[in-house]
Amino acid sequence: MTRQPGRKNRGDGVPGGFFGLSIGAILEGYRSGALDPVEVARRCIGQVEALDGRVAAWACFDPEQLLDQARASAGRIREGAPPRPLEGIPVGVKDIMNTADFPTQMGSPIWKGFTPGNDARAVFSLRQAGAVIPGKTVTAEFAVHTTGRTVNPHDPSRTPGTSSSGSAAAVACGMVPAALGTQTAGSIVRPASFCGVYGCKPSFGLIPRTGMLKTTDSLDTVGFFTLHLADLPRVLDVLRVHGPNYPRSDRALRDPRRQELPRGRPWRVSLVKTHTWDGAHPYARRSLRAWVDRLAGDGDVVVDEPDLPAGMERAHEVHATIYNKTLSYYFREEFRRGELVSPIMKDLIRAGLEIPVDRYQVALRDQERMARSMDRFLGDREILVSLATAGEAPPREEAERPDPALMWTMTHLPVVCAPAFASPRGLPFGVQVVARRYSDLLLLRFLGHLRSLDLIPEAAFPAIPLTESR
């Protein structure tokens, strides 16, 4: 069934947190004097203290350090310093990214207590923009597939998603308005879908990967989660690379032919079912079909339903070859010494060790061909839409059904998962909105159009069942 996204302020009745406060609203509060960074930090602390004992979104959280950062932000504001785009905004950091003042443990007991002494580039960008860092969010062992401590805020018996689940759950509970994540297969899209928040996986390479765990060179992508749709452009602009030192992305992002819809022309949108369609729950297929029918009723949108380029049906097979082989390379010493904990990680590495180098190289060439074919495919349309996941979050002990998320990771496309739907049980799941590589700004503009049609909400699906009001 489709959510009713038009209801204003989805967080009404949810105590504390950031459900009713977008980043833009917080910054406006600073300008007017109605808010200050210390009050905002205390709001974050209060929500973590109220809910994290049940949700377990944080690997480490330091309220005093957060308050120290907030006081420094408040001082800048009092002194009339130039405003920064994330001044005094608490942002969670996935615990595979280096932080100078918190441990970086990567979900592994091998690295318990390890402090690298520097910041990942994405964390550095946040700090330069004025963000305050409360701590690190839980991830799976080395950001792979094992379900971590975090529970789904809507139903603790169900999975919160894959390795970025701590960040998604922290946002879903209103603990922070935004949090960093990464995606190598579906680790932003799936947690966003299952936890009912906005998840953004930008074009491959648009946010630097310096100073963080590496698992797969041609797939690892940095992204983020937000509570509010309006905050996606601001956070992306802070995190992404800028300027002529990055000529390919800079050229594309400054090109109005890539980032703006020509005046007078409707949006060209394709519904792509993909080879995973038949494995999705019937209610999920019905929900997306009804959503697309509503979209097609808008005079400013033309919808078609084309076949994907030949070979895209092999995406999951090719991805597994690349992923397993690179895991067996990067974690061969931990595997040899028997230090890895999760059976899933060990099984993936065993599978990777069986893959010959020439087969891995063929898979890389297959990935490059898929990326080129999808770039040509999206050259004839602005947007494609697909299910984000096969439906609601499955029980924790069950495997997730295949979904299209890794297909767009494989082909380096920008994606936003929007919390558009609710299952018959009332649990969230999302729609995946995709654009051509480096057409990230065009994608965000289309999301604004979807919001104007009331097809996506202004704020996330609030995690009411675990709040104090229940």
Q: Report, as residue numbers or ranges, the catalytic residues.
A: 94, 163, 187
Task: Give the 3-state secondary structure of residue 265.
Answer: coil
Q: Give φ, ψ of 228 to 5 degrees.
A: -120, 135
Q: How many residues does the chain have?
A: 470
Do residues 171 and 179 make contact, with C-beta atoms less than 8 angstroms apart? yes
Contact in structure between 445 and 414 (CB atoms under 8 Å): no
Residue 388: C-alpha distances to residues 222, 232, 352, 374 (Å) = 18, 18, 27, 18
The position carrying tokens 């097809």 is: 455
| Tokens of residue 28, six digits | 């406006």
The CA distance from 241 to 205, in Å, is 9
- Residues ≥6 apart with Cβ < 8 Å to 245: none
Nearest CA to 90 among 68, 105, 114, 112? 68
- DSSP track, 95-145: TTB--TTS---TT-GGGTT---SS--HHHHHHHHTT-B--EEE---GGGSS
Q: Which two tokens stand for residue 470?
A: 């229940």
Distances (CA, A) of 372 to 248, 405, 414: 15, 18, 14
Token pair for 221: 């992508």
CA 445 – CA 291 distance, rounded (Å) = 19
The single-letter code of the amino acid at 278 is: D
